[in-house]
Structure 1
């Protein structure tokens, strides 16, 4: 792990300057802090805001930038202007990432940053991630992948560095809660965001509210399933209030990327 860390520092030190997509999650925070410590003011972290990105996540990202002192810019992306995105095909993430990286490239040109960075780790290569194609097309570098850092190693290195995100639950954009083929709407995303915020307020960490409207399918970490059952009346009442006629708890628990289970194997292989 430490050899990979040394390789990462060496790799980043070779960049003349860099601009990175920064969500405030485990990977992007680790990459931002390490890159800033090496490049200083020759680095810029950019957070893209849209209806798919909860306001609570933006607040955390801004607080992290202030705490660790790296330059930070917030932008607004236009994926909702793209019918290929809102129609929600299996390649949805490609269209979203394409919008993001186009904007990063524009900013890099204006402010003269040489390298575009993304915080994908080596574990991401084993999952269905259409956004990788957009990164390749836009010549975005993925230094964590290049030195073969895993998610577990990034968490441990983050812990050693004192980053508060080291044990932050995995997060994906709110659109990932909507089944492929169903139109993505701002209203649906807001409903999902409010439902998940409520569950977090109850103390749950690993959660997803999958919006199979009129059904809400709750994925909750295995260790918290019993607690969720105990609170089922409270949870159900709140989600009914948010507009879900039916509320279910998935017995398989939390599964990152579970919406991909219905895709053909040849697409996800």
Structure 2
């Protein structure tokens, strides 16, 4: 797989932590130049890539804001000369509440980052890929994009929306050399799941026991799925929601 990523360029949003960080590092390990994008300045992923001999830049960006997303993509292309891959991963869990108690502020914030943010990223990434005649995009959905989850209606709606957006874009650009897929992680050991369990006073062992595989997933396992969806090995795959969840939705 490695050679096909050599000297190519990837954007990873939400790249400072968790799944995004693991994916940015894996792209670099396979030879890609990486733009690590996040709303919070953190050079840990970039430093890890550079210390291993790779090339990376950090770009601060709020993906819910059009001007910042446009500037982020422009900076990536001006720095590295092209754009081949994008993992639109930035997302938040928002506040937990039943549907009738969700605040408009929480709804707008979650939808703005998780769904509008994915759309804005594709809006500005795709033109560069069209000029090249090739590209691969992976959007981060969730098992909450496949099934319902009580108590997180905004998050669940946003992740279902990501799948609809992914399928639509996949059809629009299928003959233009651009593949658009989504990855749907299950319960992954990340700062987000730590916050969720703390907010909801959820026992980690109890939650892990709900996974048929008997454990949480790791960010590195999801990164491998993203890499496959970007690789030539998945050349006939587009518009697909790849569920990587330890069997959660198979029950």
Q: Is this a same-fold pair by TM over 0.5?
A: no
- Considering Cα pairs closer than 8 Å and 6+ residues apart, tell me whether 1 or 2 has the greater RCO: 2
- TM-score category, normalised to shorter length: 0.3 to 0.5
TM-score normalised to structure 2 length: 0.39
